[in-house]
């Protein structure tokens, strides 16, 4: 089991951070490893929405479909892989610090079924580093807008 939590402070109002970060179509812009996304259900994003990601992680091409299993507008989004080599749950939590500052927390946890279990500690470290880069990129994009 891999369980990684990362957070960042973004100097923008919560609604702007939520709108951008919760939009699956924006994921390839701020996630280093995500190369493309394809909707598998109708828009807009809602409970039960599904979308497929193509990603590159630890030198491997990954394709997996996420399903939204919890969505509290402006507060929390939880999505789980419906299929793919890495059974994963990703959680975003947004907290208003003040009118122009938001804390965003990103948590990934799951079982790397497509990878050797011996790699789990290394994968947790690699995921933490990737998540830190992803959140830094997200901060840069949103604060520039």
Q: What is the pTM of this model?
A: 0.91
Give, for all 145 residues of the chain, the pLDDT tens digit. 789 999 999 999 999 999 999 999 999 999 988 999 999 999 999 999 999 999 886 677 888 899 999 999 999 999 999 776 668 899 999 999 999 999 999 999 987 665 556 666 787 888 899 999 999 999 999 999 9
CATH value at residue 80: 3.30.530.20
Q: At which residue do the structure tokens 């929390």 appear?
A: 76
**Count: domains in the chain:** 1
Q: Which helix (H) or strand (E) holds 16?
A: helix 14-21
In sequence order, the β-bridge partners of residue 93 are: 76, 105
Count of C-beta atoms within a 10 Å radius of residue 113: 11
Residue 108 lies in domain:
2-144
């Amino acid at each position: 089991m891999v369980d990684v939590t990362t957070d960042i402070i973004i100097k923008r109002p919560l609604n702007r951070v939520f709108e951008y970060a919760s939009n699956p179509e924006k994921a390839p812009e701020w996630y280093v490893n995500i190369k493309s996304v394809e909707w598998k259900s109708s828009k807009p994003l809602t409970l039960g929405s599904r979308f497929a990601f193509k990603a590159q992680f630890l030198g491997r091409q990954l394709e997996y479909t996420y399903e939204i299993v919890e969505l509290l507008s402006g507060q929390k989004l939880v999505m789980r892989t419906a299929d793919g080599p890495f059974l994963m749950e990703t959680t975003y939590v947004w907290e208003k610090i003040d009118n122009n500052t938001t804390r965003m927390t990103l948590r990934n946890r799951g079982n790397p079924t497509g990878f050797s279990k011996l790699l789990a500690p290394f994968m947790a470290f690699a995921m933490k580093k990737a998540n830190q880069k992803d959140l830094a990129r997200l901060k840069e994009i949103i604060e520039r807008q």
